[in-house]
Amino acid sequence: MVAHLKIPRITTPEQEFSSREVCQILQKVDFRRFKNKLLLIDTKSRFQALLSILKAIQEELPFLVLTERTDKEDLIKIVSSSKWKFDTVQDNLFPIDDSHFSSEKPNSGNSSDSSIAVKKLNAFLPTSGTSGDAKLLKATLKHFVANAENHRAYSNDYNFKIQNWLILLPLSFTGGLTALVRSLILGYDLFFMESFEPKSTLAWLKSNKIHAASIVPTALYSMFQSEADSQCGADFQRKDGIKFPPNFKYLLIGGSGMSEESCNNLQQKIIGHHPIRFSYGLTETLGQIAISGPKNSLAKRMDELQVLPNVELKIDTNNLLFVKGMTCLSEDILGNNILDNEGWLATGDFASYSDSKLKILGREKDVIISGGKNIQPLQVEARLAGILPELQFVALGLPDEKWGERLVVAIYTQNQISHSDLELLVSKIKSELSEELKPKEVYVCSKLPRTSSGKFRRQELAKKINIGHYVIKKLSL
């Protein structure tokens, strides 16, 4: 396989680099010393990481992007156990000041030197996987091309004319890396931010320059909250809402789901067309395999995901979802196969599929088994969303001698909550929830740990609460 990739025009809030200027930057750095090695990209600068990735792809070098949040020691141990020799790229390798650019006027068109033919691409992606064990999965050129073709088909289905992409996610995230490589394959230009800042991000999305972007729910919340704070605080209503320009086609939401209440709140804050699209995917599937369409309410979109082309699904008798397709990664860095003998990937997610629409019901490992009954935390949280609209909360299972596990709810608020207010909340929970979805206890916690993509670390939080950590108050129901 040979793919012809386009070196993109890159626009940052501070400056713009033409395709030719990006090529000039890449030519200034010699990567020959990294030949036959796995490149560990370990830089505090996202822009330097982006340039390192472009250079690695250009030179057909395998690479792995590290971040400050990455458990580097564990990942390096995994790399050391593999066949790969490795070397590290760190800060300020690429010169980006004006003195390194040619005085020749940049070519605004697609110059011949801004396109590269690539026969080989190996990127290694860190994941805890469906098993919970840390792994480094290998994504190759064919996987990235299949991902790009899926997105092209989705855009064509809705007649979306996409010519650029705003990268908001870190490039160590599967969503950030696939957005970058997909843009090279499809010929998109890039808008790029060194770090996520809610107000400036929203201003860019409303500028009529951006066509598409992807984001996690926690960043989305903070972006909308920044607009509310700047307009009229708590009185932020539809009349003062956000209007996205027609050129902005869609904002992909991934990482974790959103409650129906949160969707309805967002619905009220957006005037005109709603670019928000929910998606489902895993690192093992190289990102999205299903995306919602533009119709229906936001809450309906989350429950009606459209499966992308060349993706097969099957759901077993326990409602567990299995996936097969060209984007499914087949092995880790040690050469271990992560698919079954027929090429199916066990996602570890419960799902339903009818009328060509996919709905994700929850994670297998998150199921709470109490007194022999299976309780889905997402089902509990969906009911709680209408009761606790201003609070962050999560449903958990704690060890219990009688029940095996008991259902509890942990809540967090930035403002101090009085005992009387807490008792009122408990009273609402008692009256609104059915007996099987009613928690045994409510904990007010000093923090609710999340992953970098916004998902709650349920197992970690349950262990902490069980030994009294993070707990400020506790009430029994």
What is the three-state SS of 219-249? HHHHHHHHHHHHHCHHHCCHHHCEECCCCCC
Distance between CA 189 and CA 19 in Å, rounded? Answer: 9
136, 329 Cβ separation under 8 angstroms: no
Helix axis angle for 46-58 and 19-27, nearest 10°, is 80
Strand partners, 313: 323
Distance between CA 179 and CA 144 in Å, rounded? Answer: 10
Q: Which fold has domain 3-361?
A: Rossmann fold (3.40.50)
Instruction: Please give the model's pTM, rounded to 2 decimal places.
Output: 0.82
- Residue 452: the pLDDT is 62
- Residue 108: the pLDDT is 44
429, 438 Cβ separation under 8 angstroms: yes
**DSSP calls for 404-463:** EEEEEEEEE-SS---HHHHHHHHHHHHHHS-GGG--SEEEEES---B-TTS-B-HHHHHH
- Residue 434: the pLDDT is 87
**DSSP calls for 56-84:** HHHTT--EEEE-TTS-HHHHHHHHHTSS-
Mean pLDDT per 10-residue interval, the chain, length 477 residues = 95 92 91 90 89 95 79 80 86 62 44 80 82 79 97 94 94 93 97 90 90 88 70 43 88 77 77 87 94 80 87 94 96 92 93 90 85 84 80 90 89 82 87 89 90 78 92 89
Pairing relationship of beta strands 404-412 and 392-400 according to DSSP bridges: antiparallel
| Burial class of residue 467 in the structure, from the number of CB atoms within 10 Å of its CB (0-12 exposed, 13-18 middle, 19+ buried) | exposed
Which residues, 6 or more positions from 227, have their beta carbon under 8 angstroms from its beta carbon? Answer: 199, 202, 236, 242, 269
- Residue 234: the pLDDT is 39
Four-way CATH pick for 367-476: 3.40.1390.10, 1.10.287.3610, 3.30.70.100, 3.30.300.30: 3.30.300.30
Compute the C-alpha angle 33/35/41, nearest 5°.
75
Distance between CA 30 and CA 58 in Å, rounded? Answer: 12
56, 43 Cβ separation under 8 angstroms: no
Show me where the domains of the chain are located.
3-361, 367-476
- Residue 227: the pLDDT is 65
Identify the three-state secondary structure at position 470: coil
333, 124 Cβ separation under 8 angstroms: yes
In the sheet where 86-89 sits, what is the strand order? 86-89, 38-42, 63-66, 122-127, 135-140
